[in-house]
């Protein structure tokens, strides 16, 4: 399964249950609602608005990963 398909699946799951997630104000990643700090940037400010979560999930699911991952470097 491609990375993009995996992300699209995750995005669909988030969109189906937006109340279980929130958007980090620091790096705009989606984290689980029960997280106290962002696992990516360690920020503690979040937008829990469900519409914002769905919008962000759609955005993340539709674009390819921009950052270079370790497995990319190995090949």
Note the residues at the interface with Zn ion (CB under 5 A).
24, 26-27, 38, 40-41, 43
Name the residue nearer to Zn ion (CB basis): 5 or 40: 40
Name the residue nearer to Zn ion (CB basis): 26 or 55: 26
Sign of CA dihedral 26, 69, 32, 34: negative
Question: 47, 26 in Cβ contact below 8 A?
Answer: no
Name the residue nearer to Zn ion (CB basis): 47 or 50: 47
The residues, ordered by sequence, that sit 6+ positions from 5 with a Cβ below 8 Å of its Cβ are none
Closest approach, Cβ 65 to Zn ion, in A, equals 16
């Amino acid at each position: 399964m491609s990375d993009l398909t995996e992300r699209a699946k995750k995005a669909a799951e988030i969109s189906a249950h937006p109340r279980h997630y929130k958007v980090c104000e620091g790096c705009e990643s989606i984290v689980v609602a029960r997280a106290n700090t962002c696992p990516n940037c360690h920020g503690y400010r979040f937008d829990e608005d469900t519409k914002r979560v769905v919008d962000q999930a759609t955005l993340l699911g539709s674009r390819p990963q921009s950052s270079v991952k370790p497995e990319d470097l190995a090949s």
